[in-house]
């Protein structure tokens, strides 16, 4: 029996983390100020007796150094944040299998260098095969500390500094950071917007590919619009990129979140081999199980040349706990995720109905995927005078504050709810904000009630 197998799980559960975890969740001021739950009780990581995971009970994240809550408290002050609806992680308790595996590993008190077992790559391949019919040769999977480092490695290979990276915008704001990091420049191809639904403007996309455009970052499902790209969309993108010698970097980190009437098509399942060979795909379990700070993701490609070149630029220093958490998620967490998906979808429906019934100044269309809602706030921004507020804030801050950021700040001030400003998502993000609905229904309702009440004062 291996040393790891020999760890006494029951002994661990008896002693579970009392010392390790008790300090982790503070009773921070903001939580108390707004009547949020006090420090969470120590978990025994038990499975729910009836087999049903509880997504309904709000889980207090204040006092854990979370970006979504604590960073906002630090920025705006504790009296101004009640609900974090910004950064893309989830408020739910992780599946107990993850806590169990982590706590069990903590019983072995040595944290030396880590070797990655072959089975780990097989777990990733099995997950993708089982859920999406995607065949990945485990030998072609490369681990990385996050999708960002993987994308950056790829940009370093294909897109020298000063060259352009094609994006269909509005798109995930983090991509622009990756471009800054690699000295490359964004070439936004604004999507068409009809009745709140986005579609790719293929003529515009083609027109924007110049001699200096070497890569396209595809986001599928798309953050922030929630679009799941159809096989036809993907094929058109793929054929265009192949023709123009543009490498497709397919970021599919949100793929586990797809609503029941939509479908996620992995880029790597397209029927044209040459198109697939012209791509790399980047994925992770970090969105699906909210493991973002465990720093773990992977990429793969059917093109051995691309793979070898990007691998050479990718330095992945993975952590033991990240590895343990990811293994537990992929091997034991599927039931939790399957129960979560309808909850997320119901949250989307709740938000759309709520906005329709109570917020005439806001528009919101149910997305096809992701746990993000893309709010059209243009009417609310006019009413608030966001442009004027942005000009004043810019003067005061000595740096550009966009009207969208001014609107976000207004919601913080008047509703104690934090959203993400649409202007950070590239061309087409104007007049919008992104709202993360991966939280308990009660918390979502509190946020919407606060926002609605604030808008009614206008
Ligand atoms: C589309 C997309 N890609 C990448 C990331 C970040 O990935 P990672 O934390 O693995 O670097 C995010 C996080 O929100 C995302 O939405």
pLDDT tens for each residue of 69-99: 999 999 999 999 999 999 999 999 999 999 9
**What pTM did the predictor assign?**
0.92
DSSP bridge pairs for 84: 418
Q: Closest residue (by CA) to atom 7 of ligand 1?
A: 147
Structure tokens at 155: 């940009």
Whether 13 has a pLDDT exceeding 90, the answer reads: no
Look at residue 39 in the predicted model and tell me its pLDDT.
59
Give me the mean pLDDT over the 204-218 stretch.
98
Say which range, 9-13, 81-85, 198-202, has the weakest mean pLDDT.
9-13
88 CB within 6 A, ligand 1: yes
Pick the atom of ligand 1 nearest to 292's CA: 9
DSSP bridge pairs for 213: 164
Radius of gyration (C-alpha) of the chain in whole angstroms: 22
CA of 148 to the centre of ligand 1 (A): 7
Q: What is the mean pLDDT of the chain?
A: 92
Q: What is the dihedral of CA 242, 265, 282, 254, to 10 degrees?
A: 140
Whether 240 has a pLDDT exceeding 70, the answer reads: yes
148 CB within 6 A, ligand 1: yes
Give me the mean pLDDT over the 153-163 stretch.
98
Q: Closest residue (by CA) to atom 5 of ligand 1?
A: 147
Residue given tokens 């009640």 in the structure block:
82
Query: pLDDT digit string (tens) for 111-122?
Result: 999 999 999 999
Whether 142 has a pLDDT exceeding 80, the answer reads: yes
Whether 292 has a pLDDT exceeding 60, the answer reads: yes
Query: pLDDT digit string (tens) for 431-454?
Result: 999 999 999 999 999 999 999 999
Whether 14 has a pLDDT exceeding 50, the answer reads: no
292 CB within 6 A, ligand 1: yes
Pick the atom of ligand 1 nearest to 297's CA: 10
CA nearest 355: which of 445, 228, 441, 418?
Answer: 445
Give me the mean pLDDT over the 226-240 stretch.
98
Residue given tokens 């009417």 in the structure block:
379
Query: pLDDT digit string (tens) for 182-191?
Result: 999 999 999 9
Look at residue 196 in the predicted model and tell me its pLDDT.
82
Whether 30 has a pLDDT exceeding 60, the answer reads: no
Give me the mean pLDDT over the 287-295 stretch.
97
Whether 16 has a pLDDT exceeding 60, the answer reads: no
| SS3 state at 362 | coil
Helices (H), 209-303: 231-243, 273-277
Look at residue 23 in the predicted model and tell me its pLDDT.
34
181 CB within 6 A, ligand 1: no
CA of 9 to the centre of ligand 1 (A): 33
How does residue 4 score in pLDDT terms, banded at 50, 70 and 90? very low
Query: pLDDT digit string (tens) for 294-353?
Result: 999 999 999 999 999 999 999 998 999 999 999 999 999 999 999 999 999 999 999 999
Look at residue 42 in the predicted model and tell me its pLDDT.
78
Helices (H), 191-319: 202-207, 231-243, 273-277, 304-313
Whether 172 has a pLDDT exceeding 50, the answer reads: yes
Look at residue 300 in the predicted model and tell me its pLDDT.
98
């Amino acid at each position: 029996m291996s040393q790891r197998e020999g760890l006494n799980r029951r002994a661990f559960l008896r002693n579970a983390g009392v010392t390790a975890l008790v300090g982790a969740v503070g009773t921070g001021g903001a939580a108390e100020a707004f009547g949020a739950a006090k420090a969470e009780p120590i978990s025994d990581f038990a499975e729910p007796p009836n087999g049903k995971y509880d997504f309904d009970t709000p889980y207090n994240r204040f006092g854990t150094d979370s970006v979504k809550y604590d960073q906002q408290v630090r920025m705006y002050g504790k009296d101004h944040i009640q609900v974090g609806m910004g950064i893309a992680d989830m408020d739910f308790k992780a599946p107990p299998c993850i806590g169990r595996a982590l706590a069990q590993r903590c019983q072995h008190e040595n944290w030396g260098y880590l070797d990655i077992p072959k089975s780990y790559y097989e777990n990733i391949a099995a997950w993708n095969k089982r859920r999406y019919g995607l065949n990945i040769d485990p030998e072609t999977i490369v681990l990385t500390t996050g999708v960002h480092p993987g994308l950056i490695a790829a940009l370093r290979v294909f897109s020298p500094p000063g060259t352009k990276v094609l994006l269909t915008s509005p798109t995930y704001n983090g991509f622009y950071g990756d471009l800054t990091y690699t000295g490359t420049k964004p070439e936004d191809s604004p999507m068409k917007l009809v009745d709140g639904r986005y579609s790719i403007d293929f003529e515009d996309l083609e027109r924007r590919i110049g001699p200096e455009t070497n890569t396209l970052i595809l986001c599928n499902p798309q953050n922030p619009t929630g679009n799941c790209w159809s096989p036809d969309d993907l094929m058109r993108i793929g054929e265009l990129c192949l023709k123009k010698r543009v490498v497709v970097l397919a970021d599919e980190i949100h793929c586990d979140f797809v609503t029941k009437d939509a479908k996620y098509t992995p880029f790597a399942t397209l029927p044209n081999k040459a198109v697939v060979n012209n791509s790399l795909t980047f994925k992770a379990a970090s969105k699906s199980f909210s493991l973002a700070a465990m720093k773990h993701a992977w990429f793969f490609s059917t093109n051995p040349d691309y793979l070898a070149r990007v691998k050479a630029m990718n330095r992945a220093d993975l952590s033991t706990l990240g590895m343990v958490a990811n293994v537990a998620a992929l091997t034991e967490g599927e039931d939790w995720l399957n129960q979560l998906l309808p909850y997320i979808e119901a949250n989307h429906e709740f938000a759309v109905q709520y906005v329709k019934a109570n917020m005439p100044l806001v528009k919101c269309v149910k997305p096809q995927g992701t746990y993000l809602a893309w709010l059209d706030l243009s009417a609310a921004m006019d009413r608030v005078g966001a442009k004027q507020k942005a000009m004043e804030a810019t003067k005061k801050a000595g740096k550009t504050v966009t009207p969208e950021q001014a609107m976000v700040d207004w919601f913080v001030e008047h509703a104690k709810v934090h959203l993400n400003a649409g202007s950070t998502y590239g061309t087409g993000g104007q007049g919008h904000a992104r709202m993360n609905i991966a939280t308990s229904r009660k918390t979502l309702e509190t946020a919407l009630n606060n926002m609605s009440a604030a808008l009614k004062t206008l």
